[in-house]
Amino acid sequence: RRRKWWGAFIGLTLCLVISLGAGYWALVSGTVNGLLRVFIEDELSTQIGVPCQIGRIEGNPLGRYRVIDVVVGDVFSVDTIGVRVQPVLSYKVVIDSLLLKGIRASVADTTEEKKPLDLSTIRTIVPFEILHLGIDRGAVDFGQGVQVTGLSFRGGLSAVDDRFELAVTQYQSFQFQ
């Protein structure tokens, strides 16, 4: 009787270890990046009420990866988002570095067909902290021919629920047009 129980325990433990190993391998190897891309697109679109698209995700979502060609409605886009996740087991996600290259945003007056982003609806699913946040080659369009170009800065960001804190440690001058 004990032997049967011991055999079942070993079999169950072995199945659990193999399943966890296969799941970890699928994440680390990038095999599930397509599914992750679809999940993020759907979650963002639902939270902010604007269609979101991601071209692709490259790399290991548990370590270093890049998100390519991100478009949020017709008001925000970025060429490349580089992310390095810090492996910390805690109640929050800690991102060691996040670099946004070629970011473009439009905060111009909106018409009926162009809906503004309502950032007040965004709530974090999990508290997070970005230790090193960077923006390179940013641009913001305020409408009526007013634009800010050459926007670059470094800093950090933390978020819990609906509270976001941004600390700017370095910025580069930018141009108003």
pLDDT score for 85? 73
CA 47 to CA 143: how far, in whole Å?
A: 25
* Tokens describing residue 148: 């800010």
> 62 in helix, strand or coil?
coil
Whole-number Cα distances in Å, 54 to 38, 47, 155:
8, 16, 24
Q: How confident is the model at residue 93 (pLDDT cuts 50, 70, 90)?
A: confident
Residue found under tokens 């979650």: 43
Mean pLDDT of all residues in the chain? 79
Q: Which residues pair with 98 in a beta bridge?
A: 83, 133
Q: For 105-147, what is each residue's pLDDT tens digit?
A: 887 655 555 555 555 556 666 678 888 888 888 888 887 778 8
